[in-house]
Amino acid sequence: MGSDVVLQTRNLGKRFGRRWAVSGLDLAVRRGDVFGFLGPNGAGKSTTIRMILSLIRPTTGSVELFGKSLRGHRREILRRVGGLVEGADFYLYLSARRNLEIVAGLCGGIRAEEIDRVLDLVGLAGRAEDRVKTYSHGMKQRLGLAQALLGAPEFIVLDEPTTGLDPQGIKEVRELIGRLSCDRGMTIFLSSHLLHEIEQTASTMAIINRGKLVIQGKVSEILNQAEVGVRIETDRPDRTAEVVAGLPYARTVVREDRTVHVTLPQERLAEVNRLLIELGIGVRAFVPKRSLEDYFLAITEGASDVAPRAQQRRQEGN
């Protein structure tokens, strides 16, 4: 199993002064994954990515890439990794090609055709000789992707690659990520503060909040096989609440005026709906809402001390 894990962090932590930006972080990214790294702003995503790319020294723990410690094998590892950290910054007074030549010079053994290839891949071949100063934000972002792809890395780390792009640009980046993953089998680590973005591009994911891992696993499992919060409106709310509370797998039943809120496993939804109808209760609305979405919305909206239900579940599951 060891060889197919591309990235492994163990107890990774970083303290700035007295504040821990990241702590006890264990991440595992397997070969071929598109790994979504999700968290609200300030959750520690960027600090983690900077530790993975050797910009920041961890206070605790270690980063392993391709089964080797980053500390001891930095040069060898980074030869196989491409990164785009927090937007793309370049030497504005130089052309796109010159900028890529500089990056190539830092990697060693990258040929001129390779620069043409990545420029072509991101659709900048026609503007390669223009100074980056004249580029739009979207073009700079694409150039950022181009430099991350230089030297055909096996693993690329993209920190919020769609930030500041227009819908067309976002779509293009998403398609590019899809192509890299499908056609080239590249392993991609992608951070975002938007759940739907991760949902659309990633195969596995982790959520981080306040520097700590909340949950990690396959996107499909996390988003679909998890428990679901359901809002039920019927003509007999009292009876409904009573019935639902009697179910062994139902959790946190809350009666609110004419509505009942309950948390149910995804695969039981139809069963509960049928049961209510069979008991002669008139169901006006039966609206499932994924609990992760609720939870994530809550933490991204800055509500403090949200009960981390997903975390409870993870611990129960273990």
Give the number of residues in contact with other proteins, rule: CB under 8 A.
37
Q: Which of residues 107-146 bind other proteins (CB under 8 A)?
A: 107-112
**Nearer to other proteins (CB atom), residue 150 or residue 264:** 150
What is residue 266's three-state secondary structure? helix
Residue choice 24, 42, 87, 217 for contact with other proteins (CB under 8 A): 87
Q: Sort strands 68-69 and 60-65 into parallel, antiparallel or unpaired.
A: antiparallel
**Nearer to other proteins (CB atom), residue 161 or residue 229:** 161
Q: Does 56 bind other proteins (CB under 8 A)?
A: yes
Distance CA 27, CA 205 (A): 10
User: Which of these ranges, 51-59, 187-195, 223-231, 257-265, lies near other proteins under the rule CB under 8 A?
Assistant: 51-59
Here the tokens at position 2 are 């060891």
Q: Does 240 bind other proteins (CB under 8 A)?
A: no
Q: Does 91 bind other proteins (CB under 8 A)?
A: yes
Residue 149 belongs to what H/E stretch? helix 137-149
Distance CA 104, CA 288 (A): 51
Residue choice 53, 205, 206, 213 for contact with other proteins (CB under 8 A): 53
Q: Does 37 bind other proteins (CB under 8 A)?
A: no
Long-range pairs for 114-118: beta carbons < 8 A, 24 or more residues apart: 114/150, 114/151, 114/152, 115/150, 118/146, 118/147, 118/149, 118/150
Distance CA 52, CA 157 (A): 9
Residue choice 13, 83, 169, 229 for contact with other proteins (CB under 8 A): 83
Residue choice 11, 26, 41, 55 for contact with other proteins (CB under 8 A): 55
For residue 260, what are the β-bridge partners?
232, 255
Distance CA 171, CA 301 (A): 25
Q: What is the DSSP string of 190-239?
A: EEES-HHHHHHH-SEEEEEETTEEEEEEEHHHHHHSSEEEEEEEES-HHH
Residue choice 22, 104, 177, 219 for contact with other proteins (CB under 8 A): 104
What minimum distance in Å lies between the beta carbon of 49 and other proteins? Answer: 10
What is residue 317's three-state secondary structure? helix
**Nearer to other proteins (CB atom), residue 18 or residue 93:** 93
Length of the chain: 318
**Nearer to other proteins (CB atom), residue 97 or residue 313:** 97
Which of these, 220, 222, 235, 204, lies nearest to 311 by C-alpha position?
222
Residue 69 belongs to what H/E stretch? strand 68-69
Distance CA 250, CA 17 (A): 44
**Nearer to other proteins (CB atom), residue 49 or residue 207:** 49
Q: Which of residues 145-174 bind other proteins (CB under 8 A)?
A: 147
Residue choice 6, 34, 43, 78 for contact with other proteins (CB under 8 A): 78
User: Which of these ranges, 87-95, 170-178, 204-212, 285-293, lies near other proteins under the rule CB under 8 A?
Assistant: 87-95
What minimum distance in Å lies between the beta carbon of 147 and other proteins? Answer: 6
User: Which of these ranges, 71-79, 189-197, 199-207, 267-275, lies near other proteins under the rule CB under 8 A?
Assistant: 71-79
The structure tokens 């428990």 sit at 227
Q: Does 98 bind other proteins (CB under 8 A)?
A: yes
Q: Which residues bind other proteins (CB under 8 A)?
A: 50, 53-57, 74-76, 78-79, 81, 83, 85-94, 98, 101-112, 147
